[in-house]
Structure 1
């Protein structure tokens, strides 16, 4: 089995940690503190894996070398975590979180209690190739047959990428995917697929290699359409961007939504974190990503390694939100309204 790893440019990011005790902004010293990395989902999936990796490697690079622990805050496809970070999290550098893709462009699609542009972005461990994947017993082999046969797709919530991209595919190509919402994590969706509750899901390729490698090895899951960054392991499967003509309304919608995928497993601090704290954790995050031990664990966990720094994330945000003209936003909002039933 081959797992795709690619290194993108220089990596700079800053992370902060959630803890019950306040951290002195002026000192930016975490000595004696407990730092928490918040996961925007339940356990059992690769969102949890990436946060575990940060939890295990960040502390030794932070000033004062604090203890770092992990905390799961699932709900609404990751929107519950992002809302907490924007409205309730400590602003003194005592908490950091990972974004669940789908919640960056989410502010354009529906009324949310956060705007991802206001977060203090630190960097991303990976922007991963992904797509619509179906269980091997489902009588749908490709995109064309997906237009003729209804299939059920498990998802955590309406604002998650697991809902947005199936809805976009239905709109653009006339496919017949029906969303089943409410799962707390990718791990729960995988169990639902095994039990026959749903027939497939949107997921990263490494979302399977990281927690269900046997599905790939035994060809128990098949991708029928791809999105986001390319992955050589899925060569031959059609990619939505290649099927849409640049400049068309459909391609513009994809370009806005793909912003989430091009940022990937991004970590951030809440709005209002002091500059000196952001800088201190930013350096620690940079050092963590430059540490060979971090990449070694990523590879051992069979997930992708394609980091972005904070400047690269800023460029993706500018490009994605810049493509969100009023007509495109209206189309996207109508698209999301289809997922309410």
Structure 2
């Protein structure tokens, strides 16, 4: 944990030296909102409520910060709200989880995700769990499981489920996504009880639930996205599973450089900006800077670090506006290339309905 914590915080500390103090912004005596895009009680809600008091501490004037769940449309509704209804006054920000892939790939939006003001983002590692009875110890086993690969997810358009669909297809396996599970706990229950055979959790929630999952004795971690390191992904050592990219490189090196691998890589890269902070279009830059500065300071606050480590969760580094926009530009370029989009249409047609 110590090495991972140092690595996570070093990038954020470096960014702090480049974040200018927001001038002429004062929230004193006001109430500001952090809108999060899933239901109350889930992992996104937990993250938002954990970091909110520390963002409050560092926003100019130390306003009251409240967290408001705004679920709907597989997490996209909150982004639509921020674009269409939120005022550009800096009084509310959306902590949107799993937003980038859905927004970039779905074609029927009237606006680009990059049209919104962006204060920064956090990477999110994802762990895939699979039932022991599936007899899967390596990716080449996926094509010959005794039962169908049924992936429990919040939605058929789940980013994590779609990533696994592409991964499994590389090894000749078909995955059926079973959407409609409201919370991570519901997905864990579905796979531990055999209603489904595969699911995914972010690494924070997995850390909290790992003991209970082990005691259930029916599922095991199969793979993880890992933590972005600039050139690829490092596995979180506390999770006894390899990264998906390392499995592809070891067991299917022939796909490297192909459009299918580019699609798989785009899903992985999306994890680097999976939790993104959005403000209304036209929000003055000084308000964007104020939020960016407050979040950057919050994630390195010793009391915040203590709270997160106390939950056996990961202290996620923070990437500011400039770095996040670069990642979004790369995502748009990756997903929108014709050869990659053709494969996405084949494997995940739900994004185009």
TM-score by length of 1: 0.83
Mapped pair 1:129 → 2:125:
yes
The CA distance in 1 between the partners of 2:210 and 2:240, in whole Å, is 20
SS of equivalent to 1:10:
helix
Deviation at 1:140, TM superposition (A): 4.1
The CA distance in 2 between the partners of 1:185 and 1:114, in whole Å, is 28
When residues 63 and 236 of structure 1 are mapped into structure 2, their CA distance, relative to the original with a 3 A threshold, is closer
User: Where in structure 2 are the equivalents of 1:143-158 lying within 5 Å?
Assistant: 143-149=139-145, 150-158=148-156
Matching residue of 1:272: 282
Number of matched pairs:
329
The CA distance in 2 between the partners of 1:206 and 1:4, in whole Å, is 13
SS of equivalent to 1:178:
strand
Contact 2:139 2:247 in 1 (8 A): no
Contact 1:223 1:237 in 2 (8 A): no
User: Where in structure 2 are the equivalents of 1:200-215 lying within 5 Å?
Assistant: 200-215=198-213
Select which of 71, 86, 91 maps to 1:89.
Answer: 86
Contact 1:51 1:70 in 2 (8 A): yes
Gaps of 5+ in 1: 14-24
Aligned residues: CA RMSD: 3.1
Deviation at 1:206, TM superposition (A): 2.7
User: Where in structure 2 are the equivalents of 1:85-234 lying within 5 Å?
Assistant: 85-101=82-98, 103-104=100-101, 106-112=103-109, 114-125=111-122, 127-149=123-145, 150-216=148-214, 220-229=218-227, 230=234, 231-234=236-239
Higher helix proportion: 2
Deviation at 1:202, TM superposition (A): 2.1
Matching residue of 1:46: 43
The CA distance in 2 between the partners of 1:109 and 1:205, in whole Å, is 26
Contact 1:295 1:305 in 2 (8 A): yes
When residues 327 and 308 of structure 1 are mapped into structure 2, their CA distance, relative to the original with a 3 A threshold, is same
Gaps of 5+ in 2: 17-21, 228-233
Mapped pair 1:330 → 2:342:
yes
SS of equivalent to 2:176:
strand
**CA offsets, 1:181-216, max 9 Å, x none?**
112222332233344432331222332113454325
Contact 1:255 1:320 in 2 (8 A): no
Select which of 3, 9, 19 maps to 2:11.
Answer: 9
